[in-house]
Structure 1
Amino acid sequence: MDISVIGVSAEAEELYRYFLRHRGEGIGSVRQALNLDPDTIEAAAEVLGRLSLLDLTDRHRVVATEPRIGIERLVEQRLDQLNMEIRRVLAARDAIASLVEDQRHGENSTPVLDIERVEGLDQVRQRLDDLGFFSYKETLCLHPGGPLSRGAIETALPLDTRSLRRGLAVKAVYHPKALDDPFMAAYLRDVVSLGGQIHITEDPMDRMLIFDRSVAVVPINPKESSRGALLVREPGLVSQLVTYFDGVWQAATDLRDFTEPSSGAPLLSDLEKRVLAVMATADKDEIAAREIDVSVRTYRRYVADLMARLGAVNRFQAALRAKEENWI
């Protein structure tokens, strides 16, 4: 039996029952009879007085209200409150008609393509930073020109590092001209060592960024990218751009294959070497990822890539073949 539903706490109920059994006693006698501290007794008494379950006019002679009167009154008050709340909830149905009308209006209106125009280089960079921060799966990039500026590289590397450490896939295709600059080449190697994937192609391509395959960013004017960008969220258009990216990506060459001789042991990044080192020793992916300070998703992506390159069917075999091929 629980009367807290009508506003009587367990302590207040205990106090109420005490005065029902001990008519005419004072508040001072309660502490000796009940295992309650003075503050709790005073608070419970105030609640009971407010609910008219106790008459506290004379605190040395407290009178408890007869239960059939006091409790029944509180039950009726609570039922009135619940009925009022039910009526308010049911009244929400009245909004259905107007909401349906809004829906009908939206269905009949002329659709507008979800394309946002962002002008100015600073504004574009801010929006790209926001899109990268709120992405949770992957970032795709096509960069047809030469190397980035020194300032752009200094801005891009922390963003790429943050994304990769969060477990995002970062895939980018660059033109070989980008490798002519030593700082740019070092930046791309850093991205690869952190878990990013870089491909190189001499084929023509359009500049673009795609976040989570749901938002594409293309320049307003392909010949003047500094003018601004278009943020495309229209699913049909984004899907076509993703298909275009996938085609360019598949036809391009991995950065390591492009810069390394085709014969002999491949040049592994530091991260790849560390992945190979823990593959055969760590019992769980979580432990291995923690040992080399990457996310579990990044670790598993590297394991899958290394196993495919080694032609191994399991991780232990991959570690053995890596040793046989003098990869580690």
Structure 2
Amino acid sequence: MDISVIGVSAEAEQIYRHFLRNRGDGIGSARQALDLDPDTIEAAVETLGRLALLDIDDRHRIVAVEPRIGIERLIEQRLAELNAEIRRVLAARDSISSFIEDQRQGESSATALGIERVEGLEQVRQRLDDLGFFSYKETLCLHPGGPLSRGAIETALPLDTRSLRRGLAVKAVYHPKALDDPDMAAYLREIVSLGGQIHITEDPMDRMLIFDRSVAVVPIHPKESARGALLVREPGLVSQLVTYFDGVWDAAKDLREFTEPSSDAPLLSDLERRVLAVMATADKDEIAAREIDVSVRTYRRYVADLMARLGAVNRFQAALRAKEENWI
């Protein structure tokens, strides 16, 4: 039996029962009879007095109120409170019609194909930053033009680094003209060293960004990207754009293969070399990933790729073969 629902704690219940059995006793008798802290007894007596279960005007002669009166009164008060709460909850139904009206306004203002128009370069950059921050799986990029400006690189690198360290896959395709600029070439090599994947193609392609294969961003005007962008969320359209990206990606060459196609030795990024170095020594993936400052997901992706390239059946064998082939 639990009467805490009407505001009487277990300690207060003990004290109420004590004074029912010992009518007219002082508070000192409760201190002697009950195994409770004096402060607890004092607080409980005050609560019982406030609930009108004890008459505590005279602390030397405390009188317990008859249960059929005191307990029943508390039950009635609690029921009244609950009924008032139920009425407030039911009244929330009245708001449904106003929410439906808001929904109708939103549906009437939204385009049929789930396309949002964002104008202005700064506004587009802010939306891209938001989309990148809340992505959890991957970002895909097609960049048909020349190199980014130094300011754009300085803005993009921290965002890409943050995504890669969170374990997101970053895949981007660039035109060879982007490599003409030393800063741009260094930026792309840095992305690869952090675990990103960069491909190069001379084939024509359209500029776009895709986040988690659910939101695509394309320029309002294909040759004037500064005018703004269209954010596409319509699943059918996004699926077509992902298919287009995959086709461009598969036909393009890996950055390392494109820049040094004649090298006999495999081209390894600094991160790949560090992964190989810890594969045979770290007991757990979490320890290895922490040692080289990447996420566990990124570390495992690199391990799987390196094992496949080395034809190894386990990580220790992969490390040995890497040494035999002078990869490390």
TM norm structure 2: 0.90
Partner of 2:225: 225
Measured in 2, the distance between the counterparts of 1:142 and 1:162 equals 20
The offset of 1:191, in angstroms, is: 0.4
Q: Deviations 1:197-236 (Å, cap 9, x if unpaired)? A: 0000000000011111111111111111111111111111
Measured in 2, the distance between the counterparts of 1:188 and 1:265 equals 21
Partner of 1:129: 129
Residue 30 of structure 2 is aligned to residue 34 of structure 1: no
Partner of 2:289: 289
RMSD after superposition: 2.7
Partner of 2:24: 24
Q: Is the 8 A contact 1:260 1:266 kept in 2?
A: no
Partner of 1:145: 145
Q: Is the 8 A contact 1:219 1:225 kept in 2?
A: yes
The offset of 1:36, in angstroms, is: 3.6
Measured in 2, the distance between the counterparts of 1:89 and 1:125 equals 43
After superposition, where does 1:175-194 map in structure 2 within 5 Å?
Answer: 175-194=175-194
CA distance 1:122–1:104, change in 2 (3 Å)? closer
Task: Give, as a single letter, the amino acid of the residue that structure 1 aligns with 2:166.
Answer: R
The offset of 1:84, in angstroms, is: 5.6
Partner of 2:6: 6
CA distance 1:285–1:78, change in 2 (3 Å)? same
Partner of 1:313: 313
Measured in 1, the distance between the counterparts of 2:324 and 2:255 equals 24
Task: Give, as a single letter, the amino acid of the residue that structure 1 aligns with 2:275.
Answer: V
Structure 1, gaps ≥5 residues long: none
After superposition, where does 1:266-305 map in structure 2 within 5 Å?
Answer: 266-305=266-305
Measured in 2, the distance between the counterparts of 1:323 and 1:37 equals 72
Figure out how many residues of one structure are paired with residues of the other and give that number: 328
CA distance 1:303–1:43, change in 2 (3 Å)? same
Measured in 1, the distance between the counterparts of 2:312 and 2:263 equals 19
Measured in 2, the distance between the counterparts of 1:110 and 1:163 equals 30
Percent identity over paired residues: 88
Residue 204 of structure 2 is aligned to residue 204 of structure 1: yes
CA distance 1:317–1:161, change in 2 (3 Å)? same
CA distance 1:219–1:97, change in 2 (3 Å)? closer
Q: Match of 1:145, SS?
A: coil
Structure 2, gaps ≥5 residues long: none
Task: Give, as a single letter, the amino acid of the residue that structure 2 aligns with 1:55.
Answer: D
Q: Match of 1:20, SS?
A: helix
Partner of 1:48: 48
Deviates more, 1:211-220 or 1:92-101: 92-101
Q: Is the 8 A contact 1:175 1:202 kept in 2?
A: yes
Residue 258 of structure 2 is aligned to residue 258 of structure 1: yes
Measured in 2, the distance between the counterparts of 1:110 and 1:287 equals 48
CA distance 1:120–1:87, change in 2 (3 Å)? closer
Q: Match of 1:147, SS?
A: coil
Measured in 1, the distance between the counterparts of 2:73 and 2:27 equals 24
Task: Give, as a single letter, the amino acid of the residue that structure 1 aligns with 2:71.
Answer: I
Measured in 2, the distance between the counterparts of 1:224 and 1:109 equals 26
The offset of 1:319, in angstroms, is: 1.8
The offset of 1:88, in angstroms, is: 6.3
